[in-house]
Structures are given as structure tokens and as C-alpha cells.
Structure 1
């Protein structure tokens, strides 16, 4: 081959390679961000300014940021077709589905502490429907709030009523490998379930793998404090954790809770479950959404 022909052929080949490389780069998908040490679970609406209103686009955005879990309190109210599509997307992106709320009429409604058949029937019906929803989205955990405090009954009677009702709920969930997680709340002094120790007692009374504790750090900081100590006391029954700084119930680093230290402790305990991001954003717009991501990068950097 003459030198001039060789140079022309080499130039054409090099140009083709360069052009192919440029096209390949321009058509490549966004690279998923580095993951986290723990399974933090955002919810719909948390990143809507970046991802748009479509739930599937929002889940994909979460995965692109490195989040490996997702939770959706209102999942039972969504159309079956959307539930199915969300479940398929989570599986495709290798994300774990977190909690959704078992419908029983609201946190204060149909209290199990009263021991009334009509309240229990509503709760059990919610458990049966929750099984079908869980299958569609590949969920394992579902939130249960027993209801309001029954002031005309001694606390021991209320405890017994709640335990009996939850045992019946557990009988529905156990064959499917599902678990309700009981959440003590700080929203009202009229709620029956208030502290981690009380929830621990109830779980021990139910005595089922399908009845465990949802330890919401925001609520428990308000109701009892001493977070690591109380989590350690009740650790055997804690299956799910939720997050929110106090005051304000926004992302970590916006309040008084030392989340970096708490997450380090949780990681050292070998926790492989989900930590639901059940809080709002402290700032509006894309800036606020990025601030949430940055906050989790910061507090997750305990290694």
C-alpha cells in the first residue's frame, strides 16, 4: 500500500471511530449516582421539580440518585394499573418497596383499643385488601396505627383489646410473609400508641413475625427522646424506621437530631431494612430537592 493511500484510509477510520464515540456518548443514559450505606426510601412528590409529576418518572429519578428503596403511604388508594406499573418499575430498578398504610379510616378512627367488633372488622378488611396490594408492588411491610385512646377503659383492657385485634390481623398476613409495623405517633395526645416501650409490649403480646415496630425517629424524639437508648431496648421488635428532623419534620441537618451518629449506630447494628424519608423538604423547588439529596449524602458519610 502506498503511503498516501494508507494515510487517507487511516484518517477515514479514525474519523469514523471518533464519530461513533461521540454518538455513543450523546445517546448514553444518565449514570446512576453512587449508592448509600443504608436503604433510604423517598416518597412521591419529594423530587417532582426534577422528575415531573409522573410517579414512574419520579421513581426512576430516585434510582438515578442512588436510592435503593421507596415508600408510599397512599399506595392502597392508587389505581390497580398504577400499582402494577410502580411494582414493575421498582423491580426493574432493583429498588425495595417500603411501607404503605393499611386503610382503616384514619389514624384516630375505628380504634382497636375499644374492642368493638365493627372497628375490628374494618381493620381486618383493610388487612385482606393490603395483601393484594402488597403482591402488586412486592411489598413486605405495611403501617398500622391502632387508633385513639379509649378513655372510659383501663389501659390494661385497652392493651388486651389491641393485642387481640392485631393477632387476628397477623393471621391474615402471616401466610403471605407480610408484616404490619405499628407506629407510635406524636400527632395527638388522644392517640392510643405513644411510645416505643408500649409498642414493644404490644408486639410481644401479639407474638407474631407479622407484627413489629415502625420506629419513627421524628415522632419518638418528640415523645420520649433518648433515641439510641430506646431503640436499643426495643431493637428486637423494630422492623422499619422512618426519618424526619425536629423541629419542622424536614430532612436531616435541619433540626436538632444528630442523624449522622444515629445512622452510624443503625448501620453497626447490622440493620438491612428500610429507613423511610417521611418528611418534607425545607426549601422549595429544585434547590430544595437537591438540598435533600445533599443532606443524605452528608449524614450517610459515617464510614
Structure 2
């Protein structure tokens, strides 16, 4: 009898979760708490968490995924499509996800995040049609191209900033929000030139986007700033980082859209009062 593959992926969504708050060592703090909140009935966007054990195996195997992980990611991606009614890589109702780190001990800002993953030249048009907001679609695309190039492919962040600033200067835009649809289209074209100048190409295959983004989060566990943070705070004995793949929510859809951070207690004093 073939040996059953180790479970590396845990789903949360629709008011149910395979994990809970006590599973921080395996799911990381973020993954464990997302699972707990989902089970409590809070409106958590669905997703799945790749375990810290998978990260540990990734390093043990010379930065290769452990056996069974790819199949489990595909299976849970299909669950995400079913629960959302969206299709990853679909033109009509595209599924976009965030890919985030999450160790058992909080390490704010030390590891990598990728947002709007799943956008390409085709799904962009689906997002625009779905939201009836062309500016939002192009803004989401240029943000994704910059973040993916920087975080996943290691292209210099400044190269994207310079390209963006050049378009803003050309069009007399003081802020990013001053750029109209045509301006954002030009930014995307300039970003493609940034990729080419770095000898890279932006992947149009959304599954390739996801796999290399997961690699990037695993790799960020041992980036210079993460290692230094663990040294300074004497954080030892952790397997690695979990990876949380979750349906995107957006804060850039217009004047009535935004994002922020809220706490159920005052993070400075511990006072039992909503803060944020």
C-alpha cells in the first residue's frame, strides 16, 4: 500500500476550518488565527495555509517542494474556486489571491507578501468587466507587477519607482491617484520594460505565479532581515514560516474603499477596548 502523503495544507472558509488557534507552531500565528476566526463565524475571506513543516521540508530538500505539496495546493485551490464561484486564471470571474508569510511568532514586516496574484493580460479584462471599474483594474495590475517583480523575481524596487515617477512627471500627476486609465496603462507598459531590462519576464501563467510566489515566501524565512530579527529577539526553535493563500479584498476601488488595521484591545496598554 502506498504511503499516504503528509498533510501540508489546511483550508478555511465558509464558516469552517481545518485548523484552530492552538495550531500556531504548524500553521503560524496568522494561519491559526484565521482558522479560529473562521470557525467563530467571523467574515474571513476564504483561503488555505501551507504549514511550517512544508517550509522546513523545502529547505531540507534543497529548496524543492516536499512530495504531495503541489497536489494539495491544487486541491485546495479548487476548493477555493468552488466556495467563491471564481476561477483561478478565468477571464469572466477571475480569482485573485494574496500570498503571505506567517511564522508561529510574529515577525512584522520581516518576510514577504504578494497581493493581486492571478492577474495577467487576460484576467485583467475580466476584473474590469466584473467591477465595471477600468481604473481599479489597471491600478491593481500595475501594483501586482511591481510587487511580483520586486518580491518574487528580485528586480530592484527603485527601478519600478523611477518608471512610475517618470509617467507621473510626464502627465503632471502629483500623486499615484492622479493617474487616469491611460496613465496607468502607460505605467504597465513601462513596468514590462523594467522586467526586460532586468532580463526577466512577467509570467502570464497564473499557476506559475502562485508556485514561485510560495517559493518566495519560503525563501524570505531566511532573508537577512528575518534572520537578524530572530537574533535580536532571541527567537529560536521554529520550523519556518507558513504560507497563507487567501482571496483578495481591495482597498483601492475608489474613495469609499480602504484598508486598515484594527485590534480588539489596545495593543499598547492591553485595555479591553476596540482600537484602530
TM range (shorter): under 0.3
Q: TM-score, normalised by structure 1?
A: 0.24
Q: TM-score, normalised by structure 2?
A: 0.26
